[in-house]
Amino acid sequence: MDEGREVAAARRLAPVIAAASGRIEMGRELPADLVDALHAAGLFRLLLPKTLDGAELAPAQFVRVIETLAGADAATAWCVCQTAGCSLAAGYLAPEAALEVFGPPRAVLAWGAGAAGKAEKIAGGYRVNGKWGFASGSRHATWLGGHCRVTLPDGSLARDGAGQLIERTMLFPRAHARIEDDWQVIGLRGTGSDSYEVSDLFVPDPLTLSRDVNAEIRDQAPLYRFNTNHIYASGFASVALGLAGAMMGDFVALAARKTPREGQARLAESASVQAETGRLHARLEAARRFIASSLAEGMAEIATTGGLGLDRRMTIRAAASHALAEAREVTVALYHAAGVNAIFNGSPFERRLRDGFAVSQQVQARSNHFETVGRHLLGLPPDLTFA
């Protein structure tokens, strides 16, 4: 079966990424030569519209790319996934604005978490103030986005017809922001997820959008009927799966050569090790296939109905949350099974464990997402914030 051009590109680049992993970790960012290689391979344009020379990749193919990259280096995969999710903004912008942001061949949009800014509506646009954190990929980005609450002239927060606070995302060149180098963490160090701030910045109306609001979608390609949470949840779950799969490869290689102290046979010859390895493989494969099928079925539903129904949205949420949980547990099991070999700085087990736990601490991995799915299944109104 043809794996697709983008997956093949990720496979070809994987050895280059793996070779750079030490520099990625030490520099706390993707080095310039690797960013060049990612651009050359088109891996920063996976979810951009074809009209902007993007791949407009189906989500089920997108997550295969992310998992492949994560097997080589999780920080690289995370940056590609995060900025790809940001690039869905192109589907909400007028063509001229989309071209301004994403037209250049090395365009990358990054943004931080949460509606941490305020945008005062003024003639022709907004006056923006705010500080955002966790802007993965911002060090090689050309544009940044800031999610804001809209304020009225009297300083109060604007609300829509249903009484909900209005949130809009403001897009501006990276050079207009003050960057704070504050990404000092135990895992995913190479994502360079710094904080950034703007003060009294004017952002024109065409460079603003309300994410995941169907009425604002301008590009009618099926991809843009998926919201950012579908992409982030599934993509970050695939980072976790790629990490766990790579650790499985590390463990298989170790088991083939390691004889435990006072033992007479290699780890690979132990029946208990064989059984546990088989079980862990099955867990990863099941989680991987659940994500792929949920996304493929979502694309089919969009083709038929023009959108995603609540049942499908909950299935995607369940698949991503399940994969994140399974990958974390498999990673811990493999680390434990590797014994003392896993504890040394610089070992693939040590780095992957740290990165895997960093993945499992972020918002898409919260265990209460299962509560959301359960409420829906039980006929109760669910919280749709992350679904």
- Mind spelling out the 3-state secondary structure of the chain? CCCCHHHHHHHHHHHHHHHCHHHHHHHCCCCHHHHHHHHHCCCCCCCCCHHHCCCCCCHHHHHHHHHHHHHHCHHHHHHHHHHHHHHHHHHHCCHHHHHHHHCCCCCCEEECCCCCEEEEEECCEEEEEEEEEEECCHHHCCEEEEEEEEECCCCCECECCCCCECEEEEEEEHHHCEEECCCCCCCCHHHCCEEEEEEEEEEEHHHEECCCCHHHCCCCCHHHHCCHHHHHHHHHHHHHHHHHHHHHHHHHHHHHHCCCCCCCCCHHHCHHHHHHHHHHHHHHHHHHHHHHHHHHHHHHHHHHHCCCCHHHHHHHHHHHHHHHHHHHHHHHHHHHHCHHHHHCCCCHHHHHHHHHHHHHCCHHHCCCHHHHHHHHHCCCCCCCCCC
- The hierarchical CATH code for the domain 226-377 is 1.20.140.10
Rounded mean pLDDT of 207-216? 94
Quote the pLDDT of residue 263.
74
Q: Is 46 exposed, middle or buried (0-12, 13-18, 19+ CB in 10 A)?
A: buried
How does pLDDT run across 70-108, given as a tens digit for each residue? Answer: 999 999 999 999 999 999 999 999 999 999 999 999 999
Task: Kindly state the tokens that stand for 63.
Answer: 């997550």
Q: Which of 279, 203, 190, 206 is nearest to 239 (CA)?
A: 190
Q: Is 219 left (phi over 0), alpha (psi -120 to 50) or beta?
A: beta
Bridge partner list, 233: none
Task: Kindly state the tokens that stand for 30.
Answer: 């993707």
The whole-model pTM stands at 0.96
C-alpha count within 13 angstroms, C-beta hemisphere, residue 213: 13
Task: Kindly state the tokens that stand for 126.
Answer: 């907004």
Confidence at 164, pLDDT banded by 50, 70, 90: confident
Q: Which of 278, 220, 240 is nearest to 95 (CA)?
A: 220
How does pLDDT run across 291-329, given as a tens digit for each residue? Answer: 999 999 999 999 999 999 999 999 999 999 999 999 999
Residue 353 in contact with residue 270, Cβ under 8 Å? no
In the block, residue with structure tokens 């862990």? 280
Instruction: Give every CB contact of residue 41 below 8 A, 6+ residues apart in sequence.
Output: 9, 10, 12, 13
Quote the pLDDT of residue 1.
43
Quote the pLDDT of residue 114.
92
Structural fold of domain 109-213 = Butyryl-CoA Dehydrogenase, subunit A; domain 2 (2.40.110)
Confidence at 276, pLDDT banded by 50, 70, 90: very high
Rounded mean pLDDT of 138-145? 97
Are 5-102 and 226-377 equal in CATH topology?
no
Domain map (residue ranges) of the chain? 5-102, 109-213, 226-377
Bridge partner list, 337: none
How does pLDDT run across 237-274, given as a tens digit for each residue? Answer: 999 999 999 999 999 999 999 988 777 889 999 999 99
Confidence at 2, pLDDT banded by 50, 70, 90: low
Confidence at 154, pLDDT banded by 50, 70, 90: confident
Strands 125-135 and 143-151 turn out to be unpaired
How does pLDDT run across 342-356, given as a tens digit for each residue? Answer: 999 988 999 999 999
Neighbours of 215 (CB within 10 A): 5
Rounded mean pLDDT of 120-124? 95
Residue 312 in contact with residue 318, Cβ under 8 Å? no
How does pLDDT run across 23-78, given as a tens digit for each residue? Answer: 999 999 999 999 999 999 999 999 999 999 999 999 999 999 999 999 999 999 99
Residue 65 in contact with residue 6, Cβ under 8 Å? yes
How does pLDDT run across 219-235, given as a tens digit for each residue? Answer: 999 999 999 999 999 99
How does pLDDT run across 6-31, given as a tens digit for each residue? Answer: 999 999 999 999 999 999 999 999 99
Task: Kindly state the tokens that stand for 376.
Answer: 């829906």
Residue 171 in contact with residue 207, Cβ under 8 Å? yes
CA-to-CA distance for 346 and 93, rounded, in angstroms?
44
Neighbours of 104 (CB within 10 A): 11
The distance of Cα 75 from the centroid of its chain, to the nearest Å, equals 10
Residue 148 in contact with residue 128, Cβ under 8 Å? yes
Please determine, looking at this structure, whether the domain spanning 5-102 carries the CATH number 1.10.540.10: yes
